[in-house]
Chains A and B, each alone.
Chain A
């Protein structure tokens, strides 16, 4: 899935693709970032260009309610609604992070009628790189 690298000096050609017209994409990728306090659902095409996104915060939930599984499934339903009209049938799901949004968003996607081809977990895993934040003391 390598993106075309834009040549320096020819930036006018980078964004020539369709702006607002509805592209018919039969297959897409749904990214679900599920942290403990929020869930963000982004729908992109296979190359990675974002089509639509939604999160628990933008769905009207505030504060601690954003982290609940119900908020995650409303966010997923919201993000998929625009795309289902464009005719997406199959999708691959990439899940990032711990949190309740993982399960709830997956179930919402399956309920909506989009065929799940693959479920992948892409939580970033350092090969012992940056120093993590200090331990919380309870």
Chain B
């Protein structure tokens, strides 16, 4: 990976609680001015004996690079959803029958999270449509996870193509629900205000109490998951 070598000066190593101090001393003694961007983590078996150690080399990439890779994966996956026939048929089965011009559900990739070592990618998918469309789309995507991983490897030049996991993203829907409730409250308040203006002013305090009551009730609705 050329980038790992070039960015040697900007790498910040995360602090782990592994027994890696020994490895640091050894590497420094070799003569490198800065330790390479990986740590050798030694773990002992439950007996505590040194004989049964397992070593694992873990590559931690630059956080800026992680963000760039996440953005690129997002572009590639969105492009795949738009152009690739296999994925489209998986998400929307009626497209295979030819009914692809008028959609019953719309799938969008809202977010991509990449782990720090670029090995696991969590893709958050938001589906617009009814309940059945959501289930079908998510199930179709999950069944094509291996295919997506292969396609991603063909399109992007990465040393190790990450494992792709699809997750449902409810945040857009939740936000839409919250805004709908807020709009409803605003309309109700406006209606009450116009009613007050046209009617008498004696009910000012009552309306305040009602508004507080409405807000508390609606807050309960908003925070229900």
Q: Which residues of A contact B (CB under 8 A)?
A: 36, 69-70, 73, 95, 98-100, 102-104, 106-108, 111, 118-121, 123, 125, 136-138
Contact = CB atoms under 8 A, between A and B. Distances in A.
Nearest to B68: A138
B183 to A, nearest CB: 7
Contacts of A119: 102-103, 106, 128
22 contacts: A69-B110, A73-B176, A73-B179, A95-B106, A98-B108, A99-B78, A99-B108, A100-B108, A100-B172, A103-B106, A103-B108, A103-B128, A107-B128, A111-B180, A118-B102, A120-B102, A120-B103, A121-B82, A121-B101, A121-B106, A136-B75, A138-B69
Given A120-B101, A137-B157, A138-B156, A106 B106 contact: yes
B82 A102 contact: no
A138 B102 contact: no
A95 B101 CA distance: 11
B interface majority secondary structure: helix
Interface string B165-181: 00000001101100110
A69 B175 CA distance: 10
Contact of B72 (A69, A104, A138): A138
Given A100-B108, A136-B75, 12 more contacts: A36-B75, A98-B109, A99-B78, A102-B106, A103-B110, A103-B128, A119-B106, A119-B128, A121-B106, A125-B82, A136-B72, A138-B68
A111 B180 CA distance: 7
Contact of A103 (B83, B102, B172): B172
B57 to A, nearest CB: 22
Given A70-B175, A111-B176, A111-B180, A125 B83 contact: yes
Contacts of B158: 138
A106 B2 CA distance: 43
B126 A103 contact: yes
A123 B75 CA distance: 15
B128 A106 contact: yes
B interface residue count range (under 10 / 10 to 19 / 20 to 34 / 35 or more):
20 to 34
A136 B102 CA distance: 33
Contacts of A123: 82
Contacts of A137: 157
A107 B129 CA distance: 10
B131 interface: no
A44 B61 CA distance: 48
Contacts of A104: 172, 176
B192 interface: no
Contacts of B78: 98-99
Interface centre among A98, A111, A137 (most CB of B within 10 A): A98
Contacts of A36: 75
B79 interface: yes
B146 interface: no
A73 B179 CA distance: 10
B155 to A, nearest CB: 8
B81 interface: yes
B69 A107 contact: no
B48 to A, nearest CB: 43
A119 B172 CA distance: 18
Contacts of B69: 138
Contacts of B110: 69, 100, 103
B133 to A, nearest CB: 11
